[in-house]
Chains A and B, each alone.
Chain A
Amino acid sequence: MSGGFITCAGVGKTYTGKGRPVEALQGISLACAEGEFVCLLGLSGCGKSTLLQMIAGLEQPTTGRITVAGQVLDGPSSETSIVFQDHGLFPWMTVRANVEFNMKARRVPPAARRARADDMLALTGLTAFVGSYPHELSGGMRQRVGIARALTTHPRALLMDEPFGALDAQTRGHLQAELLSIWASQRTTVLFVTHSIEEAVFLADRILVFTPRPGRLAAEVMVDMPRPRLPTSPEFAAVAKGLRAMLGSEGGSE
């Protein structure tokens, strides 16, 4: 595959610990265009998170090659930012310090750090909470902090590892809508891992469906519906039904 802001060519991952080696992912090839919103959908254990961690440069593929912005990946790229399901906020830092951390790591001067953090805090509706500690925030608020932090470095791609997986349905709905508006305003590429069919259909331009043991790319579904999408609409239900069939009898909804 050539062209595409993020590409994977024949990417596989085998874990060799004690006992026999476990093949987590096999022969993944994909390309993700700049500005595209792509969901990686699959049941737990299908290796979709592993793939995202590899694209984030946090893990090495056993086989194949990953490129980001035309560069073959060798560790985390400065063009991407990752958001974790368990938010990964530093409990001893205030919201502001957490949001500034990625910039601090890149040696952005304090004044510039502050200004950019203020912008991203405003964008995510956190301005009133700059001085709070993570444990004082709700789950949804914490994940907003994680997203704000990821955005501070002007990433060209946002890598999201089931970011809303631990939230209640209502909060999840709010954050999905907010993410779409952030995505529209920041014009960043989003690679979004989820096990929820509804979430994928609500968010994605394109859905890549994974099957487990070993994780393989089973199908690719374009979601050609205008946003905001209504989960109660017949088109929505039709796409979701098709995906449910691909994921197998175990289903994949909540």
Chain B
Amino acid sequence: MPRLSRLAGLLPIVALVAAWQLAVSLQLYPPVLLPAPAKVADSFVRWGPTILANAGASVLRVVIGVGLAFAVAVPAGLLIGRYPALDRLTDWSIQAFRSVPPISLIPLAMLFFGIGDTPAIVLIFLSALWPLLLNTIFGVRGIERTLLKVARAARASEALVLRDIILPAALPAIFTGLRLAIGGGWLTVVTAEMIAVKSGLGYMILNAQMTFRTELIFAGIIVIGAIGLVADQSVSRLRARVCRWQEGLLAERE
């Protein structure tokens, strides 16, 4: 029963909600700090449109930021992985820049781009760029040597090699990069929205704190977690679909 055993993944969450309800019933904290699960559930109804609008704003920023990062990092990574000269040129810079947490760039982003979508998208772009770039490069480097020999013996053009060999060989690693990029982008967007933007889930949570609507803070956190889970699962499924050829390969090598 594979479907039933998947549902086991819900058990920790159910246990957490039960513990939460217990804490509320025992009145460990005043209800204004720790609202009951039922009250939070109710806030989904009451604040539904607000939550939806803010979640939409956050998701859109991540989609744009990660999309731009993908468009830059994947072609760049394929070339850097393919040509050692480009690798020597860029290696130190990549290692240096990727060590800078995107959050630490919020002040600069606000100075340059003000308050709004632009600084948030720039920060998401930067947090998604490095995992995508590094994983793409890694994927290209891992290609089986014989495959490149086959291409060379067939006198394949460089364009054909990049498109039909290097790119598909790197795809599994690119998907790993995409998962990390979306995860990183999602963390960044919530943080950025607490400081540099006037919409989105991060802004909504901060606003709820200032107006003392604790249940909305909880609702926001739950939505953030749920969207993160859905995004990760979607990428994971897409990867299994696109890289079907690899699943068998992995099983075989065990």
Contact = CB atoms under 8 A, between A and B. Distances in A.
Given A84-B150, A86-B146, A105 B156 contact: yes
Contacts of B147: 88, 90
A91 B149 contact: no
Contacts of B160: 104-105
Nearest to A84: B146
B149 A88 contact: yes
A56 B153 CA distance: 7
B154 A91 contact: no
Interface residues of A, number: 28
Interface stretch (B5-13, B211-219, B244-252): B244-252
A32 B164 CA distance: 35
Given A92-B171, A92-B245, A135-B245, A76 B153 contact: yes
A88 B153 CA distance: 11
A133 B248 CA distance: 9
A87 B147 CA distance: 9
A93 to B, nearest CB: 8
Interface residues of B, number: 25
A102 B249 contact: no
Nearest to A59: B149
A84 B149 contact: yes
B168 interface: yes
Contacts of B150: 82, 84, 88, 90, 101
Interface string A123-144: 0000000000111100000000
B165 interface: yes
A58 interface: yes
B88 interface: no
Interface string A68-86: 0000000110101110101
A20 interface: no
A81 B246 contact: no
A106 interface: yes
Contacts of B144: 86, 88
A4 interface: no
Contacts of B243: 92
A106 B154 contact: yes
Interface in B120-172: 144, 146-147, 149-157, 160, 164-165, 168-169, 171
Contacts of B151: 105
A117 to B, nearest CB: 14
Interface string A152-171: 01000000000000000000
Given A91-B246, A105-B160, A81 B153 contact: yes
Contacts of A35: none
B155 A76 contact: yes
A134 B160 CA distance: 20
Given A76-B155, A105-B156, A58 B149 contact: yes
Contacts of B246: 91-92
B178 to A, nearest CB: 17
A101 B146 contact: no
Interface in B228-254: 243-246, 248-249, 252
Interface of A: 53, 56-58, 75-76, 78, 80-82, 84, 86-88, 90-93, 101-102, 104-106, 133-136, 153
